[in-house]
């Protein structure tokens, strides 16, 4: 039996620690020693507040983004080696406490069917601890099929919006970042965005449109707010209608637009109900509305490759690296000061 240490959400907005025992490892599992775990001011802090069905699950072990080293393998495991570095989303944990999702622990049992991602040989695990979250953004960006020289607006510069902005820049898009936080806007410049706009400005809409020619080809809505959604609908590029003379109305042939529709990608987590009247809210023909699901294994593999090939610099998305024993204060900063503390990595070797 293996004894582990774990971060525990004891109740709403209360963080502690616990010692637990893992079940016996099966022949189809690997024992993985955690090296780093990643947390942002988004999903896990909402779980800490009792959202996502957590209110009646306390106490629980949170966390879904971990990297670690294989230290032991079951007899049926093929394709992996002791010493391999993995990015994984734990699927099983101690029996005597609920896990949502159980990543914030010192060791895990990981099965091949859990689809752990094998990291490049000789890599620094700190670089890849962000890959689970980056894969969420990557799925949304790739769904929009960005083309070089297109104009893209990203509303919200939390972690999902930040990765979206960086990935769009890597695809050759002209990217405008929008947020209420000045510190997040300043951070977005490090990803190479063309411009950043303060969402609180009374002329924010006009300011954004000043960087676009008739609106954006792609809008990524990552704020998770109804205000962000309303802004996204106003920013989308209008389908061109050409007036040959004042008395003659002419509409471009539809064949010239298919395949080049403007796209809106809803990447936020929306607690409140949203509504949309396409004719009134969009005022444009042929807008593609995309709401990607959770990241898949291919998205996770592509996120790892984006980091390996230096398409994105993972260190730009990490605010602090602290020992896991400082989790209580770290979560408090993420929860109460999300504009100042963007993300935290817990070091489990300290």
At 105-141, the pLDDT tens digits run 999 999 999 999 999 999 999 999 999 999 999 999 9
Residue 112 has which token pair? 């091949």
Shared domain check, 16 and 104 = yes
Shared domain check, 73 and 59 = yes
Residue 304 lies in a domain: no
- Residues 233-255 as b or e (16 or more Cβ within 10 Å = b): bebbbebeeeeeeeeeeeeeeee
pLDDT tens string 256-294: 565 678 999 999 888 788 888 887 888 787 899 999 988
Helix H, strand E, coil C: the string for the chain is CEEEEEEEEEECCEEEEEEEEECCCCCCEEEEEEEEEEEECCHHHHHHCCCCCCCCCCCEEECCCEEEEEEEECCCCCCCCCCCEEEECCCCCCCCCEEEECCCECEEEEEHHHCCEECCCCCCHHHHCCHHHHHHHHHHHHHCCCCCCCEEEEECCCHHHHHHHHHHHHCCCEEEEEECCHHHHHHHHHCCCCEEEECCCCCHHHHHHCCCCCCECEEEECCCCHHHHHHHHHHECCCCEEEEECCEEEECCHHHCCCCCCEEEECCCCCCCCCCCHHHHHCCCCCEEECCCCCCHHHHHHHHHHHHCCCCCHHHHCCEEEEHHHHHHHHHHHHHCCCCCCEEEEECCC
Number of compact structural domains in the chain: 2
Shared domain check, 149 and 231 = yes
Residue 334 lies in a domain: yes
Quick one: which of 87, 116, 131, 136 has its CA closest to 295? 136
Residue 27 has which token pair? 């022949």
Shared domain check, 55 and 184 = no
Query: For residue 9, what is the enclosing H or E element?
Result: strand 2-11
Residue 121 lies in a domain: yes
pTM (global) more than 0.85: yes
Shared domain check, 269 and 149 = yes
Shared domain check, 137 and 106 = no
Shared domain check, 6 and 108 = yes
Shared domain check, 144 and 109 = no
> Residue 74 maps to which CATH number?
3.90.180.10
Give the pLDDT of residue 243.
44
Shared domain check, 121 and 185 = no
Residue 34 lies in a domain: yes
> Residue 223 maps to which CATH number?
3.40.50.720
The residue from 290, 308, 331 where one domain ends is 290
Residue 311 lies in a domain: no
Residue 298 lies in a domain: no
pLDDT tens string 208-226: 999 998 899 999 999 999 9
Pairwise pLDDT comparison (187 vs 249), residue with the higher score:
187
Quick one: which of 345, 343, 323 has its CA closest to 335? 343
Residue 89 lies in a domain: yes
Residue 181 lies in a domain: yes
Residue 347 has which token pair? 């070091």
Give the pLDDT of residue 125.
98
- Per-residue pLDDT for 241 more than 60? no
Shared domain check, 21 and 79 = yes
Give the pLDDT of residue 251.
64
> Is residue 291 classed as helix, strand or coil in its secondary structure?
coil
Q: Are strands 29-40 and 66-73 parallel, antiparallel or unpaired?
A: antiparallel
Give the pLDDT of residue 245.
60
Shared domain check, 330 and 285 = no
Phi then psi for residue 122, to 5 deg, are: 80, 10
Shared domain check, 118 and 18 = yes
Structural domain range at position 155: 133-290
Alpha helices in the chain (DSSP H): 43-48, 125-128, 131-143, 159-170, 182-190, 204-209, 226-235, 297-308, 327-336
């Amino acid at each position: 039996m293996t004894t582990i240490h774990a971060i525990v959400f004891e109740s709403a907005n209360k963080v502690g620690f616990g010692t637990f025992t893992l079940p016996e490892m099966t022949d189809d599992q690997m024992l993985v020693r955690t090296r780093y775990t990643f947390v942002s001011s988004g999903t896990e802090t909402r779980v800490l507040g009792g959202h996502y069905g957590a209110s009646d699950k306390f106490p629980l072990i949170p966390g879904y983004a971990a990297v670690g080293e294989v230290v032991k393998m079951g007899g049926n495991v093929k394709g992996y080696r002791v010493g391999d570095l993995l990015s994984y989303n734990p699927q099983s944990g101690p029996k005597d406490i609920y896990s949502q999702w159980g990543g914030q622990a010192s060791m895990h049992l990981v099965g091949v069917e859990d689809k752990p991602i094998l990291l490049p040989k000789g890599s620094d695990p700190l670089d890849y601890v962000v890959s689970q979250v980056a894969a969420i953004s990557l799925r949304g960006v790739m769904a929009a099929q960005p083309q070089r020289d297109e104009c893209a607006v990203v509303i919200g510069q939390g972690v999902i919006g930040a990765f979206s902005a960086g990935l769009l820049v890597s695809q050759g898009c002209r990217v405008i970042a929008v947020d209420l936080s000045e510190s997040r806007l300043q951070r977005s410049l490090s990803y190479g965005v063309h411009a950043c706009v303060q969402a609180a400005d009374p002329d924010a809409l006009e300011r954004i449109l000043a960087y676009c020619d008739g609106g954006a080809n792609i809008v990524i809505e990552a704020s998770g707010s109804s205000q962000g959604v309303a802004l996204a609908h106003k920013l989308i590029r209008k389908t061109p209608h050409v007036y040959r003379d004042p008395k003659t109305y002419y509409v471009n042939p539809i064949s010239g637009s298919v395949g080049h529709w403007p796209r809106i990608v809803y990447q936020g987590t929306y607690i409140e109900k949203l509504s949309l009247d396409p004719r009134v809210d969009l005022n444009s023909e042929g807008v593609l509305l995309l709401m990607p699901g959770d990241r898949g294994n291919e998205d996770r593999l592509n996120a790892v490759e984006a980091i390996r090939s230096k398409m994105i610099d993972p260190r730009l998305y990490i605010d602090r690296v602290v020992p896991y024993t400082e989790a209580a204060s770290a979560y408090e900063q993420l929860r109460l000061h999300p504009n100042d503390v963007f993300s935290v990595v817990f070091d489990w070797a300290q």
